[in-house]
Amino acid sequence: MRTWIKDPLAIFADSAERGLVVEGTRIAERVGRGATPERIDATFDASRHVVLPGLVNTHHHFYQTLTRAHPSAINKPLFAWLTALYPIWSRLKPNQLRLAARLALTELMLSGCTTAADHHYLYPEGLENAVDIEVEEARALGMRMTVSRGSMNLSEKDGGLPPDSVVQDEETILADSERVLKLFHDPKPGAKIRVALAPCSPFSISKDLMTESARLAERYDCQLHTHLCETEDEERFCLKMCGLRPVDLLEETGWMSSRVWLAHGIHFNPHEIARLGNAGVGVSHCAASNMVLASGICPTCELEAAGSPVGLGVDGSASNDSSNMMEAVRHALMIGRLRYGADKVTHRDVLRWATEGSARCLGRSDIGRIEAGYEADLALFKLDEPRFSGAHDPLAALVLCGAHRADRVMVAGEWRVVDGAPVGVDLDALVAQHQAAARDFA
């Protein structure tokens, strides 16, 4: 089946003025100005749509959708915010995680996201199969996903930040990491599900766990992920506990490679940026949560110039407090201009970070671009709302005027959002179930 996505209002791709052809799960060709593709089985009129590659979210915590704008944690910096919420999150049950994941994935998809990476590191008793739950939900929705098997093995009794009830010992973590890699990880091009190993952060994990996770990642050809250099508190903690700055900790534990992408990456010095770029370590820029928690601004331009892939993440929905990738794109533009100047970060830069850059962070060269041979993951937006009236550059308008909901979303050649609604999902029922679950965390 060859489908022509025909004559878009605008498209984020070169030599594709007349759109693109989808064949099976992949993009077969771009259709340039004045061209007509051969052998077309179906046509989709995209003349009212701006077409983007599907957005790729590189950092999230799905379970946190249950504690958005929680009165215990609002108006606090990271460490105080975490300390307030850990005891509340420790009550998380399997069905609550299932609803949280379903809602987060749906919310992301409605914003034009086709691939999501979730960092689940919370394992209270009874939630040992958290990865299995998230994989089931992603498959049911048809989303592409990197499920990060997170971990914490340093609790308050060990000098760490989280309470004892949500951490696991190193042996349990590594055994389950290997279990989910064997069950779910697919390193092949076009994979729907991949697994990454993701020790949480320097203030909740041991050096041994980082080292062993890196060795396991080499064996199974998977990515590695962690929070790093998010706050100055973290840097002081790392120096006190390990005698190392966070980037030096990466080096010592075998994490300085293109297999790694980091969440936040704010407090690097110039020498560290050069080292990260030279190693090809990616960074997920989480502009919204960094602003909410007043953590700082990621040095995106310096990182990219040094050679690091830069992607975007919405981060946890209790520190953003949404799961909207188009909002993340706009936030990245605004905070980037505040740091670098109005002409140094463009709408095309942030769209590139949200697509190709994010895909590189996840170790993928098969998504994130509208190009022949890439997966047919697409996000189509209309400009029919009052906020877009009078806009002259459709691509710029998506970012500057604040697009937040896609009209159509395609994953692997199949429509997953049609007329602004998720296919096969009763959205009202899902929201009602999710809100009921959230009341348990009041």
- My answer on whether 49 and 70 are in the same domain is no
Q: Is residue 318 included in any domain, yes or no?
A: yes
Residue with token string 């989480």: 286
- My answer on whether 280 and 309 are in the same domain is yes
> How high is the pLDDT of residue 238?
85
- My answer on whether 32 and 62 are in the same domain is no
Q: Is residue 442 included in any domain, yes or no?
A: no
> How high is the pLDDT of residue 236?
87
List the one residue out of 153, 148, 78 whose CA is nearest residue 118. 148
Q: Which domain holds residue 339?
A: 55-361
Q: Is residue 437 included in any domain, yes or no?
A: no
Cα dihedral across residues 203, 205, 210, 213: positive or negative: negative
Q: Is residue 303 included in any domain, yes or no?
A: yes
Return the CATH number at 27: 2.30.40.10
Copy the structure tokens of residue 335: 């905070």
Q: Is residue 439 included in any domain, yes or no?
A: no
Return the CATH number at 246: 3.20.20.140
Q: Is residue 291 included in any domain, yes or no?
A: yes
- My answer on whether 269 and 402 are in the same domain is no
- My answer on whether 123 and 71 are in the same domain is yes
- My answer on whether 47 and 67 are in the same domain is no
Q: Is residue 367 included in any domain, yes or no?
A: no
Q: Is residue 234 included in any domain, yes or no?
A: yes
> How high is the pLDDT of residue 3?
98
Q: Please give, one letter per residue, the 3-state secondary structure of the chain.
A: CEEEEECCCEECCCCCCCEEEEECCEEEEECCCCCCCCCCCEEEECCCEEEEECEEECCCCHHHHHHCCCCCCCCCCHHHHHHHHHHHHCCCCHHHHHHHHHHHHHHHHHCCEEEEEEEECCCCCCCCCHHHHHHHHHHHHCCEEEEEEEECCCCHHHCCCCCHHHCCCHHHHHHHHHHHHHHHCCCCCCCCEEEEEEECCCCCCCHHHHHHHHHHHHHHCCCEEEEECCCHHHHHHHHHHHCCCHHHHHHHCCCCCCCEEEEECCCCCHHHHHHHHHHCCEEEECHHHHHHCCCCCCCHHHHHHHCCCEEECCCCCCCCCCCCHHHHHHHHHHHHHHHHCCCCCCHHHHHHHHHHHHHHHCCCCCCCCCCCCCECCEEEEECCCHHHCCCCCHHHHHHHCCCCCCCEEEECCEEEEECCEECCCCHHHHHHHHHHHHHHHC
> How high is the pLDDT of residue 255?
98
Copy the structure tokens of residue 245: 């700055």
pTM, rounded to two decimals: 0.97
- My answer on whether 113 and 37 are in the same domain is no
Cα dihedral across residues 361, 367, 368, 372: positive or negative: positive
- My answer on whether 43 and 129 are in the same domain is no
- My answer on whether 279 and 294 are in the same domain is yes
- My answer on whether 248 and 141 are in the same domain is yes
Q: Please tell me the total count of domains within the chain.
A: 2
- My answer on whether 176 and 136 are in the same domain is yes
- My answer on whether 312 and 394 are in the same domain is no
Spacing of C-alpha 337 from chain mean position: 22
pLDDT per residue rounded down to tens, the chain (442 residues):
999 999 999 999 999 999 999 999 999 999 999 999 999 999 999 999 999 999 999 999 999 999 999 999 999 999 999 999 999 999 999 999 999 999 999 999 999 999 999 999 999 999 999 999 999 999 999 999 999 999 999 999 988 888 999 999 999 999 999 999 999 999 999 999 999 999 999 889 999 999 999 999 999 999 999 999 999 888 888 888 788 899 999 999 999 999 999 999 999 999 999 999 999 999 999 999 999 999 999 999 999 999 999 999 999 999 999 999 999 999 999 999 999 999 999 999 999 999 999 999 999 999 999 999 999 999 999 999 999 999 999 999 999 999 999 999 999 999 999 999 999 999 999 999 999 999 999 9
Measure the N-to-C terminal CA separation of the chain; round to a whole number of Å.
50
